[in-house]
Amino acid sequence: MRKISRNFFIVVLLLLAVSALFGLFSGPLTHSENIPLSQLAQDIIQEKVQSIVITGGTNMTITYRDGIVKQSTKEPQGTLSEVMLDLGVDQHQLQQIQIEPRKESGLMSWLGPLSFLIAPILLFLLFFFMMFRQARAGIGQAFDFTKARAKLFGADPAKQKVSFKDVAGLKEAKEEVQEVVDFLKNPKKYVQIGAKIPRGVLLVGPPGTGKTLLARAVAHEAGVSFFSASGSEFIEMFVGVGSSRVRDLFQTAKKAGRSIIFIDELDAIGRTRGFGFGGGHDEREQTLNQILVEMDGFDRDDTQIVIAATNRPDVLDPALLRPGRFDRRIMLDLPDVNDREQILQIHAQGKPLAANIKLREIAERTPGFSGADLANLMNEAAILTARRNKTQIFQEELYESIDKVLLGPERKSHVLSKKEKEITAYHEAGHALVAASLSTVDPVRKISIISRGYAGGYTLKLPTEDKHLKSRAEFIDEMAVLLGGYAAEKIVFNDVTTGPSNDLEKASQIARDIVKEYGMSTTFGPVVFGERERAPFLGRNTIEEKNYSETVATQIDQEVNMLIEAAQKTAEQIIRQKRKTLDKIAKALVQKETIEREEFEEIVGLGKTKIPKKRGK
Report the binding-site residues. Answer: 205-212, 427, 431, 503
Q: Which is nearer to ligand ADP, 60 or 167 (CB)?
A: 167
Q: Please state, in angstroms and rounded to a whole number, the distance separating the CA atoms of residues 327 and 345.
A: 34
Q: Please state, in angstroms and rounded to a whole number, the distance separating the CA atoms of residues 310 and 4.
A: 37
Q: Which is nearer to Mg ion, 212 or 437 (CB)?
A: 212
Which residue lies nearest Zn ion, judged by its C-beta?
A: 485
Site for Zn ion in 571-590 (CB under 5 A): none
Q: Which residues are CB-neighbours of 368 under 8 A, at least 6 positions away?
A: 334, 411, 414, 415, 416, 450, 451
Q: Please state, in angstroms and rounded to a whole number, the distance separating the CA atoms of residues 252 and 302.
A: 13
Does position 168 bind ligand ADP by CB under 6 A?
A: yes
Catalytic residue among 380, 428, 572, 593: 428
Q: Which of 200, 208, 313, 485 binds Zn ion (CB under 5 A)?
A: 485
Site for ligand ADP in 532-571 (CB under 6 A): none
Give the nearest distance from C-beta 460 to Zn ion in angstroms. 12
CB atoms within 10 A of CB 602: 12
Q: Which of 372, 455, 496, 562 binds ligand ADP (CB under 6 A)?
A: 372
Site for Mg ion in 506-525 (CB under 5 A): none
Q: Please state, in angstroms and rounded to a whole number, the distance separating the CA atoms of residues 272 and 317.
A: 4
Does position 512 bind ligand ADP by CB under 6 A?
A: no
Q: Which does 485 bind (CB under 5 to 8 A by kind): ligand ADP, Zn ion, Mg ion, none?
A: Zn ion
To the query of whether residue 428 is one of the catalytic residues in this protein, the response is yes
Q: Which residues are CB-neighbours of 53 under 8 A, at least 6 positions away?
A: 60, 61, 63, 100, 102
Strand order in the sheet with 458-461: 458-461, 444-448, 594-596
* Structural contact between residues 145 and 238, judged by C-beta atoms closer than 8 angstroms: yes
Q: Please state, in angstroms and rounded to a whole number, the distance separating the CA atoms of residues 617 and 615.
A: 6
Stretch that binds Zn ion, among 73-81, 193-201, 463-471, 496-504 (CB under 5 A): 496-504
* Structural contact between residues 529 and 497, judged by C-beta atoms closer than 8 angstroms: no
- Exposed, middle or buried, 444 (CB in 10 Å: 0-12/13-18/19+)? buried
Give the nearest distance from C-beta 342 to ligand ADP in angstroms. 7
Does position 375 bind ligand ADP by CB under 6 A?
A: yes
Strands 259-264 and 304-310: parallel
User: DSSP secondary-structure letter at 531?
Assistant: E
Q: Which of 294, 317, 373, 503 binds Zn ion (CB under 5 A)?
A: 503
Q: Which is nearer to ligand ADP, 213 or 488 (CB)?
A: 213
Binding-site string for ligand ADP from residue 327 to residue 366, where x marks contact by CB under 6 A and - marks none = ----------------x--x--------------------
Q: Which of 61, 72, 160, 212 binds Mg ion (CB under 5 A)?
A: 212
Binding-site string for ligand ADP from residue 195 to residue 234, where x marks contact by CB under 6 A and - marks none = ----------x-xxxxxxx---------------------
Nearest to residue 37, comparing CAs of 65, 66, 60?
60
Q: Please state, in angstroms and rounded to a whole number, the distance separating the CA atoms of residues 249 and 531.
A: 51
Query: Which residues does residue 61 pair with via DSSP β-bridges, in sequence order?
Result: 53, 71
Number of chain residues interacting with ligand ADP (CB under 6 A) = 18
Q: Please state, in angstroms and rounded to a whole number, the distance separating the CA atoms of residues 366 and 347.
A: 15
What residue ranges bind ligand ADP (CB under 6 A)?
A: 167-170, 205, 207-213, 309, 343, 346, 371-372, 375
Binding site for Zn ion (CB under 5 A): 485, 503
Q: Which residues contact Mg ion by CB under 5 A?
A: 212
**Catalytic center residues:** 428
